[in-house]
Amino acid sequence: MTATSSINLRISNEKKDIIDQAARSVGKSRTAFILENTLRIAEEIVFDRTRFTLDSKQWDELNAALSNPLSEEQVLSLGKLFTTKAPW
């Protein structure tokens, strides 16, 4: 894949030196080192928020919950949740 965008950032010389030292220690350029490690962490964060695993008991409980209609109390609670302004 051809790179078509750039990212610029400002960091202290001390932090740059640490990154450079780490990159050299694994035989990578600063750019390759930063890109590889930033992407790894970004993927972990995204996957942590979008994918989850369940054991068979949890899977059965989830399916049971999805198969049953919501109670009136649950519907009202969800309505309140969806109309509450996000704290951010």
pLDDT along the chain (88 residues), means of 10: 89 97 98 96 90 92 92 93 88
Residue 50: what pLDDT?
A: 85
Tell me the one-letter amino acid at 82: F
d(C-alpha 39, C-alpha 42), whole Å: 5
Domain assignment of residue 1, yes or no:
no
Domain assignment of residue 4, yes or no:
no
pTM: 0.57
**Domain residues for 46?**
13-83
Domain assignment of residue 59, yes or no:
yes
Domain count, the chain: 1
Domain assignment of residue 21, yes or no:
yes
Do residues 21 and 36 lie in contact, with contact meaning Cβ atoms separated by under 8 Å? Answer: no
**C-alpha angle with apex 51: 47 to 52, nearest 5 degrees?**
125
